[in-house]
A = this chain, B = another copy of it.
Amino acid sequence: MKARIHITLKSGVLDPQGRAIANALHALGFDSVDDVRQGKYIEVDLKESDKTKAKAAVDQMCGKLLANTVIENYAIDLVD
């Protein structure tokens, strides 16, 4: 089983990366760009085949290590 995890900054948290990218895109002439937010995308391959167990494990991984829950949210997507 594979878990696809999106980690994004909580709203209101400063996103210097996103801002720098937006500025760079403007400098390259992409005027239609309004706003950019940068997050992480992590794929975890699991030996687990039980979806409920996998979900619980990945949830723990996010809470403990993958996401900084003080400032980040995460979303988990499981695919076979």
Contact = CB atoms under 8 A, between A and B. Distances in A.
B42 A39 contact: yes
A6 B42 CA distance: 10
Interface string A63-80: 011100000000000000
Give the size range of A's interface with the partner.
Answer: 20 to 34
Given A25-B65, A38-B41, A40-B41, A32 B57 contact: yes
Contacts of A46: 32-34
Contact of A30 (B7, B35, B61): B61
Given A30-B57, A31-B47, 7 more contacts: A6-B41, A21-B65, A25-B65, A32-B47, A38-B42, A39-B42, A41-B41
